[in-house]
Structure formats: C-alpha cells, structure tokens
Amino acid sequence: MKNLSTRFTPASLPGLVVVSAVVVFLLASVANPYASAQEGFGPIDATLPAGLTSQQIVDKFAARESVFDVARRNYTWQRSVKVDTINDDTNKVDGEYYEVTDIVFGEDGKRAEHVVFAPQNTLQRVMMSPADFQDIEHRLPFILTTEDLPQYDITYVGRQHVDEIDTYVFDAKPKVIEKNHRYFQGRVWVDQQDFQIVLVNGKNVPDDLRKGHEDLSPPFTTYYGQVDGKYWFPIYTKAEGILHFGLEGGGDVHLRSVVKYTDYKQFHTSSRIIYNGQDITNNKTPDDSGKQTK
C-alpha cells in the first residue's frame, strides 16, 4: 500500500495526514489467534503425536496442499475486496476501494477475471500498489505446497484444539528474501485429519521501506472452509493495522481490508485433473503409499 500524500497538497485533501457448519468457528475468530486466551483456541500441546516427526507432518500436509493447488485450478469463485482507511479521530471510514470479481474460465478454457461491481475508488491517503493486487490474488489465500517448502523455515509449535477442529500449529518464515519476491511470515494451523491449512495469521514480507518509495501492508488472518465436503478453500481474509509511513511520506494511516471468497464451483469439463501422474479429478487424493483414496 503506497501513500498518496506526495501527490496532493493539504489544501486539496482536507484532513490528509501530513505526518458451512464446518466454517462457523472460522468467522467467530478474531484477527489475532496468537493470543493464548482467545476464545475457541485451546492451549497448545508442544508434544508430537506418537509415531510422527515434525518433518513427516510438514511433508504430509505440503503434499496435500500440492494436490489442492492442482484441484483448485479447476474451480470458479467470486472474490470481493474492500479496503478502507479509518480516521482515528472519528473512527469513521474516510476512503474506500471496493471491487467484486468473478474468477471464471473463458471460452478458450483459460482462467479469466471479470469485474462485476466496482464503484468509484475514494481512497485519498493511500493507493493500491501492484504488490497489493498480487497479495490479494496469490498470498492472502495462502497455501504451502511441497514445491514451496524449500523457500521456508517451518517450525513445529504443537497441537491445538480450535473450536471443532484439532490442528497442528507451525510457524513459517522465508529462509532468504530474494529481490522482487514476496513471502508469507507467520503462523499456520493444519487440520490433523485432512492435513490441509485451515487458518493462517501473519504478514506478507518484505515491505518496501525506501524513503519516497514506501509500500507497506498490514498483518492479516485468512480463514478456510471445506467446499463440497472436499478441499479446504480460503473463504475470508481480514487485515488491519497502522501503516507507519515516514513523516515526509504522510505519517500513520489506519488501514482495514476484508476479502471474501464465495460461490466455489467445480468447472465441469471433459479434461482430467492430473497430479504426479495420478487422476484427482473426482477428489481422489493419493495417500502415503501412492494409492488413491476418495
């Protein structure tokens, strides 16, 4: 998120700062599941389950995420994005970006995005940057596949009961931050039965802190729900925080954003969904022995 104060004078912008039942628990949670006293989050048991190492759990859920990543490419959905700046003196919204987009397939069978609703953008103190749009598309609906693992240090935290779901908890951070790449850094909750991510809380990094080029993003939480009783899809992301721009860049800006993912539908086609040479078109997921299970 970039600040717009250098593009306008204070006179032109008054008030500008110059200085399913399965998913019920998800929407009841707040944006900081780290808090040990958070309602619905039980204590963390740091012990490992019998017969499994932390690396085996990581490998197992990353493999499941890889299967999901392939299957997701055969789904359509609708995404709504609302980004608000908040006037902390009045606690009211003083600027908003809102867009509703259908993620569909074109006649050529390729993925396409169709904007179905986009009222006038009234953001005045910040502007949406290319990094923001890339985060919305790729990193807020976070997945961690086998192919992604070499980029991250994954630390086992323990087991935690989150309302109706027993989870494994991990902390993730990038091993190395390469130029022009962004990564997730934070905490990940994985369903113990399905070995898929059901909740993440963290931040996309790095922020651009260069004077005059600041591009900042707030911490976020993404909640996941089962679709058609199958895979765990992102359903809701909330991000909120104070973006600390330098004084010359405009000072502090209170930002709140909500992204909703709805109306997931499997795209019906005669083509097959193949993962590692195996057919997963009908949600057939390879188990550890290489066999397929429904």
14-39 pLDDT, tens digit each: 222 222 333 333 333 434 444 434 67
219-270 pLDDT, tens digit each: 999 999 999 888 999 999 999 999 998 766 468 999 999 999 999 999 865 5
Query: What's residue 291's pLDDT?
Result: 45
Q: Contact 2/215 with Cβ under 8 angstroms?
A: yes
209-221: average pLDDT: 91
53-105 pLDDT, tens digit each: 999 999 999 999 999 999 999 999 999 999 999 999 999 999 999 999 999 99
Per cent of the chain over pLDDT 70 is 77
Contact residues for 224 (Cβ-Cβ < 8 A; gap 6+):
23, 26, 196, 197, 198, 199, 232, 233, 234, 235
Contact residues for 227 (Cβ-Cβ < 8 A; gap 6+):
75, 233, 264
Burial letters for 108-141: b for 16+ Cβ neighbours within 10 Å, e otherwise?
eeeeeeeeeeeeeeebbbbebbebbeebbeebbb
Query: What's residue 90's pLDDT?
Result: 94
From 104, 110, 106, 116, select the one nearest 80 (Cα to Cα).
116
What are the Cα distances from residue 288, in Å, to 52, 56, 64, 293?
Answer: 13, 11, 10, 10
Angle at 107 between CA 233 and CA 136, to 5 degrees: 35
Q: Phi and psi for 67 in degrees, rounded to 5?
A: -60, -45
Type of residue found at 176? V
